[in-house]
Chain A
Amino acid sequence: MKSAIKKVFWVYTFMFLALSVYLVKITVYDSKDFIYQPTNPRLSQSREDIKRGSVLDCKGQELAYSQKEGDSYKRVYLTEGNLSHILGYVDNGKSGIEAYCNFDLETVDFEIMQQISSLLGESEVRGNNVYLTIDLDVQKAAAESMGDRRGSVVAIEPESGKIISMLSNPTFDSNTIKENWDELNADEDNSPLLNRATQGLYPPGSTFKIITAAAALSTDPALGDFEYRCLGEADFGDTLLHCFNSAAHGYEDMTDAFAKSCNTYFATVAQNIGNNALIEATENFCFNKPIDFPLPAREPIFSLKPSSQINELAETAIGQGKTLVTPLYMAMVTSAIAYNGMMMQPHIIDRIESPFNTVKYKASPVLLSQVCSPDNAFRIKNMMISAVNEGTATQSQLYVNDEPVQAAGKTGTAENASGEDHSWFVAFAPADDPKIAVAVILENSGHGDRAEYIAKNVMETYLEK
């Protein structure tokens, strides 16, 4: 009986040991997987007694920081560079990075040490700092060339998925969000609170031909050499498709057609490969999949069905169907072509550091999808180069430090039922070793004001450093 009691005691001790080990395991190792949920009230908690951490750009320039005013702290935001959609605000609820990283910004590292040193009056108790992947110089250049126009710019580093620059116009001022809230909300024409870069859904226009080309080359590599005679218009089912200004492009292969953005050519190619091939390609390109991003982001929508009619296929192939994309997504597509067909997970938070520069989190590149084979990516890249050199995008030829740099790009016009068309431009540079991929959309720009200038300016600024 005595030994049985001892055995029961040891079983019990073992059970509690296992419980303790489990408790440490979930707290130290597993907690990161589940604590970041909106239902966790601790994440949105704000502390009055500490200095909230700063948000900085990739070179360490402060974009948002807290400043002592009397007994409390006031949040100050950089007004240049059109950063408000990224940074968000804390004064009127929380949004943007301020909301997403709230917990980190409010977390005090080595708290006991900081508290004691603040008691001695040596320093403030500070939260962790968040470093973004944004390059403030590029961001400023983008904001400057954007001016007052409505639209959005997204620039990505292809090999890592880092967001170099991201802006949405019109914008708002995070510093005065509370005072201007009603006014901003009432402005339905401009919707300044909408982050067009991640939430603005636009038809892709001719930039979708990148995906149609990838679908065609994946189905049959020989289609790259497929020749066709463009008459400026052609019937697809019961729909008559025109090329731009109904210009007849004559005999052309895929590279020519791509450079001149020939609609009938790509509609014919799509007709050859069929609905299923195009649908399969869009799956590889991550259509209809949520984008995992710190800021609210809409997923790209592709609605062609295997049973869809020929006219819908033809319209979809040239980006005029029911397809809808965001500027962020188009930048991802472009950088995938630039990076051998590998679409990287886009990220905007580079690292989180304590005030003592110990790294609490560091982003690492994650492959999202292999959108097409490296060979096909290379062939599409060459098509994009010829669009820049002799096609529709000649205005985007780059000069970095007075030296010409080869860019690769594709223009697009998104038809807009309720006004002037939107103008798209996607590009990357340098073509042989891409460092930056850009997607630009200008709303209601018609055909006068081109998105190429803005993309050119952004890429040149980035490459000049």
Chain B
Amino acid sequence: MIYCFIIIAKYLYLLYIGIFLLDGLLISLSRQGVIKVDIAKKLSNQRLQIMLMHITASIIFISTAEASRLQSTVTYCAANILLAFFANLILRLVYKNSAHALYNCIFMLSSIGLIMLYRLNPALAYKQMFFHIGGIAILLLLPPVLTLLPRLDKFKILYILICFGLLIATLKMGTSQYGSKNWLKIGSFGFQPSEFIKILFVLYLASAFSSKPKFSAVIVPTLLTLGVIAFLVVQKDLGSALIFFMTYLALLFIATGNYLYVLMGLASVSFASVIAYKLFSHIRVRVAIWQNPWSDVTGDGYQIAQSLFAICTRGITGIGLTRGYAQKIPVVERDFIFAAICEEFGVIFAIGLIFLFVLLFLEGARCALNSKSRFLTLMCAGLAAVLAFQSFIIIGGVVKFIPLTGVTLPFVSYGGTSLLVCYIIIAIIQWVFTRNNKYTAMPAVDTVPAIDTEFLDIPQEESVDHTNIYPSDRPEETFSLNDAIPPKKAKPERRKPF
């Protein structure tokens, strides 16, 4: 009986994620003015899919639970459903006019993560749920704090100093976990500084590029970026190194619009990779495993081989929740959770998950496009790029598309630091989003009047002040629904720096 439901649930999940993505696409198209849909209705439809997802999983968990675990399973499922419901409700009440499409994306991802984690390791799932509650608190509290801070773009030296400070501290006092020396322990509390550095690094780059960079102005950030990456490579945190480099490249391109810089960046990193390959044996081992994990399936290639077994053995529709064998993969709750999702939910669902990240990046990019100043645009784009590249690097690694470098899958993997940092990133993006909306005063998301958008009752004049603080390089442009359509090219951005 329950087996039958588990099989049916496989297809229900496909339906949920399919509807969710379709609604996301429709919302996006509607924002661009291509078609006209009731955005509020689509958003609430997306929330319905998240709730259905939790309810379906709860039925499976509760009916397959052993008697001794029944109570905690029921508690977890109920807590999950309540969390999904109230988190949404509170965010909607507090930010009536905010990045709700973005919220839906991260709640969908979190739901998939919480369901899969409970299946793999209930104890970790409970902890993760509390991290999520902390994350939602960040979503609520960080924007007002940011609003109080004047001129985020003026602290670039501070950002980079903290970056290097944390990196040096990790190198001196850090402890190793999962092969990388990237954990810092303060008392019994451990965290990964490299996660926080991501945000500081983006803030630094955004402020460094916030005035239109000349060639000379590019050199210093480039050297500092290389320094950060070198630290990470020495700490064997190759995944983070890759994310930093790709984010740097994306921001450099966005800031200058110059392909030459990108080519130079790629050329220099290829050169650096070759040197690193010759220099560090752990990099050689990674590449060798990537090329042929089958030569040593019980040794070095074990992890990736088990991951590929999990992904491929059950075909594209998966085996059904609770019926997989993914516990055999080392650290499946963290880096390899995508393989477990492939096995139990199926590869088609997993591709839906990939497109959730595309949707997430789309929302982030749209927010960046609508921003009023170079700094905010760059910051938004940079933070969205961090999430996007991070998800690409780990999914690509797990499926052996690229060499494996251990990072977490944003919002899905277990991991306190990484989850909280992801929430901080979303909080910053959504803060920019509310700023954007405030000045254009239009009902962008919900049908609620735009006057209530700000979380704190900041007087109108003060916010006007803020606009002046973040100088816009495109004063003639105003927010438009058609922003994401390429048609008119603003003059200044076509100008090459030299």
Residue ranges of A at the interface with B (Cβ–Cβ < 8 Å): 1-9, 12-13, 15-16, 18-20, 22-24, 26-28, 30-31, 34-35, 37, 39-43, 45, 49, 103, 111-112, 115-116, 118-119, 125
Q: Using Cβ atoms and an 8 Å threshold, which residues of chain A touch B357?
A: 16
Q: Using Cβ atoms and an 8 Å threshold, which residues of chain B touch A3?
A: 257, 486, 489, 493
0/1 interface trace, chain B 97-111, chain A, CB 8 Å (1 if under): 000000000000000
B205 CB-CB contact with A under 8 Å:
no
Instruction: Decide: A27 and B312 in contact? CB cutoff 8 A.
Output: yes
B374 CB-CB contact with A under 8 Å:
yes
B361 CB-CB contact with A under 8 Å:
yes
0/1 interface trace, chain B 312-325, chain A, CB 8 Å (1 if under): 11111000000001
Instruction: Decide: B388 and A12 in contact? CB cutoff 8 A.
Output: yes
Question: Given contacts A5-B254, A12-B358, A42-B309, is CB(A19)–CB(B294) below 8 Å?
Answer: no
Question: Given contacts A1-B254, A2-B493, A37-B297, is CB(A42)–CB(B314) below 8 Å?
Answer: yes
Q: Using Cβ atoms and an 8 Å threshold, which residues of chain A touch B302?
A: 39
B280 CB-CB contact with A under 8 Å:
no
Q: Using Cβ atoms and an 8 Å threshold, which residues of chain A touch B308?
A: 26, 34-35
Question: Given contacts A24-B347, A26-B399, A42-B314, is CB(A1)–CB(B354) below 8 Å?
Answer: no
Q: Using Cβ atoms and an 8 Å threshold, which residues of chain A touch B305?
A: 34, 37, 39
B243 CB-CB contact with A under 8 Å:
no
B253 CB-CB contact with A under 8 Å:
yes
Instruction: Decide: A19 and B254 in contact? CB cutoff 8 A.
Output: no
Complexed CA–CA distance, A23 and B11 (Å): 19
Question: Given contacts A2-B483, A13-B358, A16-B354, is CB(A23)–CB(B314) below 8 Å?
Answer: no
Q: Using Cβ atoms and an 8 Å threshold, which residues of chain A touch B311?
A: 23, 26-27
Complexed CA–CA distance, A87 and B148 (Å): 76
15 A-B interface contacts by CB (under 8 A): A1-B255, A1-B493, A16-B355, A19-B395, A19-B399, A27-B315, A34-B309, A37-B297, A39-B298, A39-B309, A41-B309, A42-B313, A115-B7, A118-B4, A119-B1
Q: Which 3 residue pairs across A and B have the least CB separation, nearest first?
A: A31-B312, A115-B4, A40-B309
Q: Which of B1-16 contact A (CB under 8 A)?
A: 1, 3-4, 7-8, 10-11
Q: Using Cβ atoms and an 8 Å threshold, which residues of chain A touch B396?
A: 19
Instruction: Decide: A9 and B4 in contact? CB cutoff 8 A.
Output: no
Do most interface residues of chain B lie in helix, strand or loop, or is the interface mixed?
helix
Which of B41-49, B152-160, B362-370 contacts its partner?
A: B362-370
Question: Which of chain B's residues has its CB closest to A50's CB?
Answer: B3
Complexed CA–CA distance, A22 and B396 (Å): 9
Best-surrounded residue of A4, A103, A112 (most CB of chain B within 10 A)? A4
Q: Using Cβ atoms and an 8 Å threshold, which residues of chain B touch A43?
A: 313
Question: Which of chain A's residues has its CB closest to B477's CB?
Answer: A2
Complexed CA–CA distance, A4 and B347 (Å): 32
Q: Using Cβ atoms and an 8 Å threshold, which residues of chain A touch B10?
A: 112
Instruction: Decide: B254 and A9 in contact? CB cutoff 8 A.
Output: no
B226 CB-CB contact with A under 8 Å:
no
Complexed CA–CA distance, A34 and B305 (Å): 9
Instruction: Decide: A26 and B400 in contact? CB cutoff 8 A.
Output: yes
Question: Given contacts A39-B306, A41-B328, A112-B7, is CB(A5)–CB(B362) below 8 Å?
Answer: no
Residue ranges of B at the interface with A (Cβ–Cβ < 8 Å): 1, 3-4, 7-8, 10-11, 250, 253-255, 257, 294, 297-298, 302, 305-306, 308-316, 325, 328, 342, 347, 350-351, 354-355, 357-358, 361-362, 365, 368-369, 374, 377, 381, 385, 388-389, 392, 395-396, 399-401, 473, 483-484, 486, 489-490, 493
Q: Using Cβ atoms and an 8 Å threshold, which residues of chain A touch B7?
A: 111-112, 115
Closest-CB distance, B94 to chain A (whole angstroms): 28
Closest-CB distance, B170 to chain A (whole angstroms): 29
Q: Using Cβ atoms and an 8 Å threshold, which residues of chain A touch B294?
A: 34, 37
Instruction: Decide: A40 and B313 in contact? CB cutoff 8 A.
Output: yes
Question: Which of chain B's residues has its CB closest to A38's CB?
Answer: B297
Instruction: Decide: A112 and B8 in contact? CB cutoff 8 A.
Output: yes
Instruction: Decide: A23 and B350 in contact? CB cutoff 8 A.
Output: yes
Instruction: Decide: B351 and A7 in contact? CB cutoff 8 A.
Output: no
Closest-CB distance, B363 to chain A (whole angstroms): 11
Beyond known contacts A22-B399, A23-B311: 14 more, CB 8 A cutoff: A3-B493, A4-B253, A4-B257, A6-B484, A19-B396, A23-B351, A26-B312, A27-B312, A39-B309, A40-B309, A42-B310, A42-B325, A45-B325, A119-B1
Complexed CA–CA distance, A41 and B377 (Å): 49
Complexed CA–CA distance, A8 and B262 (Å): 12
Closest-CB distance, B311 to chain A (whole angstroms): 6
Complexed CA–CA distance, A12 and B368 (Å): 15
Q: Using Cβ atoms and an 8 Å threshold, which residues of chain B touch A18?
A: 401
Instruction: Decide: A1 and B401 in contact? CB cutoff 8 A.
Output: no
Q: Using Cβ atoms and an 8 Å threshold, which residues of chain B touch A26?
A: 308, 311-312, 399-400
Instruction: Decide: A41 and B385 in contact? CB cutoff 8 A.
Output: no
Best-surrounded residue of A2, A24, A37, A40 (most CB of chain B within 10 A)? A2
Complexed CA–CA distance, A31 and B3 (Å): 25
